[in-house]
Amino acid sequence: QVQVVESGGGLVQPGGSLTLSCAASGSIYTISSMGWYRQTPGKQRELVAIIGSGGNTNTADGAKGRFTISRDNIKNTVYLQMNRLNSEDTAVYYCYALVRISATSPSRGYWGQGTQVTVSS
């Protein structure tokens, strides 16, 4: 099985910074993409940023220039550096990993349990 575990959420003041981490472990052959999504009550989960195994990234418009996604392929870990946070960034942040567990298996998406980020004074 594959486990995806986030860490680094918490309370931060407006204008502050926070770094989220997410590690995938277990029966992993390859991980093609890893990323971050977020969700607030009553809304759909939305993409924040995603990164491929080669380092190519896609960042949501609202996060561009403030959030940076990076990845350590050796550690199967993805990071989200968040700067200039504001109240609209308050959400549960979920990590996503697209994983193959063997050379012959199809890729399957795995989600973490989520970590709360609250931006408030």
Check if the beta carbon of residue 82 is closer than 8 Å to that of residue 18: yes
Tokens of 34: 């890893």
Check if the beta carbon of residue 28 is closer than 8 Å to that of residue 101: yes
Q: What is the pLDDT of residues 30-60, one digit of tens each?
A: 999 999 999 999 999 999 999 999 999 999 9
pLDDT in the model for residue 113: 97
In whole angstroms, give the CA distance from residue 114 to residue 121.
Answer: 22
Task: Provide the pLDDT confidence category of residue 3 given band limits of 50, 70 and 90.
Answer: very high
Q: What is the pLDDT of residues 5-15, one digit of tens each?
A: 999 999 999 99
Place of tokens 């199967």: 76
